[in-house]
Structure 1
């Protein structure tokens, strides 16, 4: 047996391998796990060049699998104004004006994380004109489905007097025939985002298209720097694999170039994004991406779709009116056409992932998967924020993965509880943000953050999963620690069709590991989110280290 390059010993190893669930040490070499077992037997594989890491009783896990994020968007946003926690006009104005002084040459001052309740009333362009009137400014909601822009930004984007939009995408208009400043969904706010000069990075989610013209080497270098920032941010949180929920061939090319340059620090699965306006023949591009990108580090092989929007803007598709309104939202795909699309994608042996938040969207997505008849492809539903009870058993019966996000339920982490009353009838709270109930009905769970919609921190996500307080009069939807950890590791790998490569600590598997800064079974649940990541290793390479261990 070859000698180890790195040995982590004196650890509480939770392998996620049902045949060998616990160990004390792991040895790695040539990017793979060489051995998992007791400290003495593993340390025997050390040579003079082996790096020995004494874990000091800390927990060692498979590297975290982030099952739903937006890597390129998140990396790009790291340098933008962050409005998380900002509340009220004075604080908003202070933040924007300071950012403007620091960035005098930006064509658009873009902010992220603006709460829907950031002002006492719905935000208008007049509000933002008072914040800053002489430069284009805009701010994105945390869910990334609404943007508010000032008059200068709307005028520069050419949409001050409105614009024709596809169904579900809205430039909200005032009675005087001008835009209010509120822009709902990607097509509506893309003209504003284009002012930054990096709209080509949004294409994977906005249109499903490719950059035209193709970015030259200089532009690709700038784009890769943003991806590298996102990767570094994720590595600091123990993430070694991720399912990127937007993308196109350009995304894959950037990642493959970074892999060749030795700069890719996580395994990334990238979709082809199928939009409602596309013809089925566009799926030839999805098949081509699947054939071209099939390595251990950059892979495609799945198709992403949006069935609806989000609850906050009432664009999620419901089976009944939103409280106090006559609005239901609407599906972005017609039901029979969606079934035909699912059949065609499945015929090509490609996986499907659909954003479905409202119970109407969830039902229509399940119907499409049922029509496709391919449970072996592990089709997924992303979010499932509300589901009709009649649809629960269908998930398990059809082998549909529930890709859900512990940070999302209002009150669990950063989103305010007030959202519940605005968007869900009180008697439906028992059907909202289900985890235990979905699992009990046979749906495999994959956990994620949806970064940059929420904090990418897996440790905070684990805490949210374990400490979420049941809604009044509702059942407890928490799952246990081991089930939570599995959903962030082996469960995520299985859902991403990567279970033969990563997700468990077993001899021969990829050397993807995370050492947390404590014993996760001993840390009080309410303190897990403050626990750091001591060491992240992806493919045998240290990608994050909190001081020399």
Structure 2
């Protein structure tokens, strides 16, 4: 065929392109000019797009998908190689062993810091205490974060260093639990994600000398996580909770060439946020609004998490007569707040895990629509872990996006015998991560990892959404809520693009959109589900530029 007058900058050929575009679902070849897709077609056609300086990627018949969009990924939080890594430590003895080993390797450390602590490691279903840490920390202050970063655990020396005593339990970075008999703080700190990751909370930790909170440590975590993201084929990362201070970290990553994935950064709206703060948020959104770094959505919390029984449930927790968790705002106050933010044009990401927390957010969105009139707000409920069936159709009816993390629903994470399943009780298991129910009801599903709470790899999320099985096989948990591979891929691409107002630029391989795509080592649309987690991103392209792999 004759050579085009203006050859492409890049041509992908010999591929099985799954476009996630129903108008043109498959292709063999794709042309890219100035970072955007200009043609989709056959290998025969590709010859006419190719000139002497065209970069050609031969996909060798492999599956090509749009770049993954991780709709909720805490790239600033982990993992931190300066911390004791507690992931997989299933008992208190194993936690102790890992801390002892770290202490031997770092005898001069002024702080012991650890991350990824699993609540189930503590016997009897109780929360950890300083007395559990003191025997292995030798008077050195210890600061331990849970795997979900919603709580912290400190020893006696750290309580002294952080100013925690019976008169000082309401902290800038959390709420110190107290012994009901003595009133003394126990060493367990709740609400860390809500307070400790806020601007004020983080600054307080820095003033108190916690190394984990230092800017250099933050940047190290961010840079490493961004490297992981591009390696996994994640071409857009949505970082869901940042203060204005944190934006400098992304600017540094961009200047140093580490921002290879595109980033959407949401700003944290803790309780007490002022109108002046909102003006500053809006100004930051205006200053950061290109296709590599965009700032704008607001992150709020309505409840906490199920494992330490701080999520808001409609009925009491299993084994409790009365306790059903609390919302951070009374429902009427939250409805007024959401209406105010909606009126100013902000999109809101609201953390809600319990069925009462989720209902409170849906009620607030309904109130905002009644007060302000309907608009294309695309407010998100993030996590949607325990959803009452009566509320399932309200997502589509109210235009609320379900931003969910399939990996959280895995049996070895939340199933029988784990704190999540035990705390809600068997009679509520049917409410657990209802992916299929929401999908059938017409809700937009936006998928994500919630790194570093769970693995960042989208293949693990897709596998879990499709099987509800453990990673090593075994029996599924709540398999009636599985979805197809195609639906799971949509959740990680077009669903997440739509959720973040990116559907006209990303999410599918469509002429005119950004050339963000991934060549996979295996055709996950045709392979056995158990082979999906072993699939890797061999080539990752962002804006027509190869950012990972070879061509």
Taking structure 2 as the reference length, the TM-score comes to 0.89
User: Which blocks of at least 5 consecutive residues in structure 1 are unaligned?
Assistant: 191-201, 213-218
Tell me how far 1:2 sits from its aligned partner.
Answer: 3.3
Tell me how far 1:225 sits from its aligned partner.
Answer: 4.2
Instruction: Tell me the distance in 2 between the aligned counterparts of 1:168 and 1:254.
Output: 21
CA 1:478–1:447: 2 relative to 1, 3 Å: same
Tell me how far 1:240 sits from its aligned partner.
Answer: 0.7
C-alpha contact (below 8 Å) 2:198/2:270 kept by paired residues: no
CA 1:534–1:474: 2 relative to 1, 3 Å: closer
The equivalent position to 2:157 in structure 1, one of 131, 152, 157, is 152
Q: Which residue of 1 aligns with 2:271?
A: 276
CA 1:437–1:269: 2 relative to 1, 3 Å: same
C-alpha contact (below 8 Å) 2:265/2:295 kept by paired residues: yes
Please, which moves more after superposition, 171-180 or 252-261?
A: 252-261
Q: Deviations over 1:426-445 (max 9, x none)?
A: 22211221111112222100
Instruction: Tell me the distance in 2 between the aligned counterparts of 1:391 and 1:278.
Output: 29
Tell me how far 1:345 sits from its aligned partner.
Answer: 1.2
Tell me how far 1:14 sits from its aligned partner.
Answer: 0.6
C-alpha contact (below 8 Å) 1:13/1:60 kept by paired residues: yes
Instruction: Tell me the distance in 1 between the aligned counterparts of 2:33 and 2:219.
Output: 28
C-alpha contact (below 8 Å) 1:407/1:464 kept by paired residues: yes
Instruction: Tell me the distance in 2 between the aligned counterparts of 1:205 and 1:430.
Output: 39
Q: Which residue of 2 aligns with 1:390?
A: 390
Are residue 108 (structure 1) and residue 111 (structure 2) matched?
yes
Trace 1:477-496 onto structure 2 (pairs within 5 A): 477-496=481-500
Q: Which residue of 1 aligns with 2:6?
A: 2
Tell me the secondary structure at the aligned position of residue 336 of structure 1: helix
Tell me how far 1:334 sits from its aligned partner.
Answer: 1.8
Tell me the secondary structure at the aligned position of residue 485 of structure 1: helix
Q: Which residue of 2 aligns with 1:327?
A: 323
Tell me how far 1:55 sits from its aligned partner.
Answer: 1.5
Are residue 56 (structure 1) and residue 60 (structure 2) matched?
yes
The equivalent position to 1:359 in structure 2, one of 337, 355, 360, is 355
Tell me the secondary structure at the aligned position of residue 121 of structure 2: coil
Tell me the secondary structure at the aligned position of residue 351 of structure 2: strand
Tell me how far 1:273 sits from its aligned partner.
Answer: 1.4
Q: Which residue of 2 aligns with 1:215?
A: none
Q: Which residue of 1 aligns with 2:211?
A: none
Instruction: Tell me the distance in 2 between the aligned counterparts of 1:143 and 1:343.
Output: 29
C-alpha contact (below 8 Å) 1:308/1:315 kept by paired residues: yes
Please, which moves more after superposition, 468-477 or 337-346?
A: 468-477
Tell me the secondary structure at the aligned position of residue 276 of structure 1: coil
Supply the RMSD in Å over aligned alpha carbons. Answer: 2.8
C-alpha contact (below 8 Å) 2:409/2:464 kept by paired residues: no
Instruction: Tell me the distance in 2 between the aligned counterparts of 1:530 and 1:117.
Output: 28
Are residue 348 (structure 1) and residue 344 (structure 2) matched?
yes
Instruction: Tell me the distance in 2 between the aligned counterparts of 1:31 and 1:417.
Output: 49
Are residue 92 (structure 1) and residue 98 (structure 2) matched?
no
The equivalent position to 2:192 in structure 1, one of 186, 194, 205, is 186
Are residue 142 (structure 1) and residue 147 (structure 2) matched?
yes
Trace 1:456-467 onto structure 2 (pairs within 5 A): 456-467=456-467
Instruction: Tell me the distance in 1 between the aligned counterparts of 2:494 and 2:107.
Output: 47
CA 1:529–1:144: 2 relative to 1, 3 Å: same
The equivalent position to 1:20 in structure 2, one of 21, 24, 28, is 24
The equivalent position to 2:131 in structure 1, one of 126, 129, 151, is 126
Instruction: Tell me the distance in 2 between the aligned counterparts of 1:228 and 1:143.
Output: 20
Tell me how far 1:187 sits from its aligned partner.
Answer: 7.5
C-alpha contact (below 8 Å) 2:77/2:218 kept by paired residues: no
Tell me how far 1:63 sits from its aligned partner.
Answer: 0.6
Instruction: Tell me the distance in 2 between the aligned counterparts of 1:74 and 1:466.
Output: 27
C-alpha contact (below 8 Å) 2:411/2:476 kept by paired residues: no
C-alpha contact (below 8 Å) 2:140/2:157 kept by paired residues: yes
Please, which moves more after superposition, 138-147 or 254-263?
A: 254-263
Tell me how far 1:12 sits from its aligned partner.
Answer: 1.2
Q: Which residue of 2 aligns with 1:194?
A: none
Q: Which residue of 2 aligns with 1:431?
A: 431
Q: Which residue of 2 aligns with 1:197?
A: none
Tell me the secondary structure at the aligned position of residue 300 of structure 2: strand
Instruction: Tell me the distance in 1 between the aligned counterparts of 2:153 and 2:215.
Output: 29
CA 1:47–1:165: 2 relative to 1, 3 Å: same
Tell me how far 1:449 sits from its aligned partner.
Answer: 0.9
Tell me the secondary structure at the aligned position of residue 519 of structure 2: strand
C-alpha contact (below 8 Å) 2:152/2:192 kept by paired residues: no
The equivalent position to 2:292 in structure 1, one of 267, 291, 297, is 297
C-alpha contact (below 8 Å) 2:99/2:136 kept by paired residues: yes
Please, which moves more after superposition, 446-455 or 425-434?
A: 425-434
Moved over 6 A (4+): 207-212, 219-222, 470-473
C-alpha contact (below 8 Å) 1:9/1:54 kept by paired residues: yes
Tell me the secondary structure at the aligned position of residue 301 of structure 1: strand
Q: Which residue of 1 aligns with 2:120?
A: 117
Instruction: Tell me the distance in 2 between the aligned counterparts of 1:517 and 1:413.
Output: 27
Are residue 336 (structure 1) and residue 332 (structure 2) matched?
yes
CA 1:78–1:503: 2 relative to 1, 3 Å: farther
Are residue 171 (structure 1) and residue 176 (structure 2) matched?
yes
User: Which blocks of at least 5 consecutive residues in structure 2 are unaligned?
Assistant: 208-213
Instruction: Tell me the distance in 1 between the aligned counterparts of 2:34 and 2:206.
Output: 37
Please, which moves more after superposition, 23-32 or 142-151?
A: 23-32
